[in-house]
Every structure is written in structure tokens, then in C-alpha cells.
A and B are shown apart, each in its own frame.
Chain A
Amino acid sequence: MSEPGANGDYILEARGLRKSFGDLEVLKGVDFRVRSGELVFVIGPSGSGKSTLLRCFNRLEEPSAGSVVVHGVDLMARSTDINAMRRRIGMVFQSFNLYPHLRVRSNVTLALRRVLRKPRVEADRIAEAALARVGLADKADAYPSELSGGQQQRVAIARALALEPQLVLFDEPTSALDPELVGSVLTVMRDLRAAGMTMVVVSHEMRFAREAADRVVFMDDGCIVEEGSPEEIFERPRSPRLREFVAEVTR
């Protein structure tokens, strides 16, 4: 098994990832690496396998083949405690997936208390700090249904942050939001990046990608077609498929 640090400074290293649903092959051998502190953007047409790839990184989706190593720990190894690893890999969903039966505070503290077994006082303190980070310190006692979409998504981010993850995965975090609410979520993500958080973001927010991404990965039909800096991807796309895609989304 690989030792911590043996992968240089890669926090996430996936090799030869494959995933099939029945006869449909959705990932066709993907290699993907993320350095500590990097913000990697994943773009690509609908159905190209972006979400599936992201979900393989914390094994919400079971890869059919390949390896995923996070922080030097092989996620696919039998001896790996996947639940312990998931705590270190935050995930933010398109549809927020807040727990509607719990107040905002309890949404954030659930894993702290039930998984990490932190006492209530300490968990609450952590939750309030996380909520303050996303600008929602005053909403701790609200129920998710009482919040706007943008606020709900920020709570979801706080829920991930409270566990002090080394890596956060975002799957189209702003796609379910009204345009005027997108900004607040992007602001939080910008702050996170400034604080040095490692992030993998699947999104259609191309402006944000240009401004904030260290690297952009273009996927199509289950493969990584091209990757590079935002300028390389958006100004000088090499493959015809990417050129087509960029033309379409920047219209």
C-alpha cells in the first residue's frame, strides 16, 4: 500500500477509472490528479460522465475498475475505512440535499456528533464557525425550507466544511439556483480557494472557471479529452470537440 506523501503533493490521484451501468460504459479509463490547494474545474457536455467521475472520488459510485488514492490512502483497498475517508472528502450536491427534518445547526452537526462523537457544545461551536464562514451565522435555528436556494447551498457547504475536509467536491453547485442567487455561492467558493482549500468543481459557470480555476479538464463521452490552464482551454482549444463545446457555452 502507498505511504502518505508517496504521491508527491497530490491529494487526489485516480488512475484508469472505469465505470459501467449495465452495458453502458460511462467512464472509459480516466486518469485524474489534483494537487494540494488546487482548484480543478471539470467541464463537458451533459451525459459525459462528470458527475459519475466526481462520485467515484468518494465511492458514492463504485468504480468498475481503476484506483483512487486520496491523501495517500487507497480508497479501493478492503482495509480502508471508507466512512473515515469520506469525512475528509467533502461533497456539495446540485440539489443541496439538506436534511429537511433538522434545523440548519443540526444539519451541520449530525456527522460531528454521530460519527466523530463530539459533545454537543463542541459540535455546536464548530457548526457556528462553519456557518459564519459561509455568512449564515444568524440562520442556525432555521429549518432548510425557510431558506432561499442560495442560502441552502451555503449551508450544504458549511456541512461539508465542518468536518475539516482536505478536499471538497462540488457537483454543479449553482445549477439549481436562480441567477441572482448564484453570486453568493460563488463568493463562498472564492473565499475557500483563497484560504487554500483543494477543490474539484463540476460546473457550467465558465466565467468563474476562467477567473478562479488553476486547471480546467474537458470531458466528453467518458474520457478526458483535453486539460490545461483556463487560457489554454478557453482561448486556444486544440481538439475540435472542445472548440465546439467552448463556442456553444460562451455564445
Chain B
Amino acid sequence: MDLLVETFFNLAIMREALPLLLRGVLTTLALCAVVIPLGFAGGLVLAVLGTTRSRWKRFLLACWIDFFRAVPPLVLLIFVHSGLPFAGIELTAFAAVAVAFLLNNSAYYAEIVRAGIESIGRGQREAARSTGLTATQTLTWVVLPQAVRNVLPDLLSNTIEVVKLTSIASVVALPELLYAADMARSVTYNASPIVLAAGFYLLLLWPVVRLLSRLEHRIAG
């Protein structure tokens, strides 16, 4: 029992690692503040492009989206971070994460928004057009607001995944929460900093997970 506490809940070590981890939390939050809006905006753009009538444009778009849904985000990140420099494109760790996340997340957000758009009946569109709204105005003021509302739980769920995913930025040495925790672990030879990091992630995401669970069950039931 002592050994267990010593290994995972060593308060002395946790206290020592705390400042480092707090800085990590800030970096994680900053990362989220960049990649979530960016990914969502990218997803909106892809989803809106997907409303085109041209079949082959839709096909190309589906290929693009499926490609970035098929490549694991860590693979994409390492490719952007370590592969592109060989082609003369050097990115900072932060920029590499931003680019990889944009490519990956926008594909997921796009699929969700697309489902939302498809959930809006054509009567809504026709009513709007019959009052003189253009196609773009109809999309902006009538279709998208309803579409986003209809898929809010899915958007929230995906956003939780994005926040969790920021932990892979540690692999390219971006000093976010998990990176900080792993640094502290390798210095102290003790897993407690990682437990502390887990605590921070729970603090951040547990309320959201609860909320989501409520939303999902309300819709199911």
C-alpha cells in the first residue's frame, strides 16, 4: 500500500512538479484555444463546400476527408514535424501541431456538420429562398444555425477528443501538460507527476463529459 502511494501519489514530488505542470496546463489551454476554433472553422468550410451540386467535387472532398480521417493524428503530426523539413518546410513545434490538427480535426468536424446540414429538411431552404434570400444567405441564417444545434452533442464530443489529443504534442517536445509531466517523471523516476497531470485533465474534462452524457441520454431517451 505504501509502495502504491509512494509510486503514484507522492505528494512531495507532486508539489515540486506543480509549477512546471501549471505552465503545461497554460500551454495546453493555449493550444486548445488555437486548434479548436481552427479545426471547427476548417470543418465548416469543408462541410459548406460539400453542399456543392457537382458530383466530382463532392467526391474529391470525400477523398480528402477520408484520407485525413484514416491517418492517425500522431502519424500526421510526426510527418509534418519531422518529414516536411526534408522538403525544405521547417515549422516550429507549435506550428506543426496547429497544421496537423487543422488537417485532422477539420475532417472530423466537417463530417459532423455535414450530418447536421443533411438533417435540415428542404422545406426550410425553400421557405428562405421564396423570401428572396440567396443560397449563401440561406445557408448562413437558416440552415447552419439549425444544423449546428442538431449536432451539438457530437460537436462537443469531438471537442473533448481534440482537447485530449493535444497530449500528443508532447511527442514533438511542445511543453504542454503531458510533456511537462513526463519531464518531471523522467527527472524524479516517479509516476506521481503523470497522476497529477491526469488530475488536471479530469478537472478540465470531467464536467464536460458529464454534461455530454446528460445530453446524449436526453436525446436517446
Contact = CB atoms under 8 A, between A and B. Distances in A.
Interface of A: 58, 60, 83-87, 89-91, 93, 95, 97-101, 110-111, 114-115, 156, 159-160, 163
Nearest to B149: A101
A163 B123 contact: no
Main secondary structure of the interface of A (DSSP, over half): mixed
Contacts of B130: 58, 60, 86, 89-91, 160
B134 A83 contact: yes
B133 A115 contact: yes
Chain B interface main SS type:
helix
Contact of A95 (B123, B132, B145, B149): B123
Interface residues of B, number: 17
B131 A99 contact: no
A51 B123 CA distance: 13
Contact of A60 (B126, B133, B142, B146): B126
A100 B123 CA distance: 12
Nearest to A61: B126
B206 to A, nearest CB: 30
B40 to A, nearest CB: 19
A86 B126 CA distance: 11
A110 B130 CA distance: 12
Contacts of B142: 99, 110
A24 B185 CA distance: 72
A97 B123 contact: yes
A60 B123 CA distance: 11
B145 A101 contact: yes
Interface string B16-54: 000000000000000000000000000000000000000
Contacts of A98: 127
A87 B132 CA distance: 5
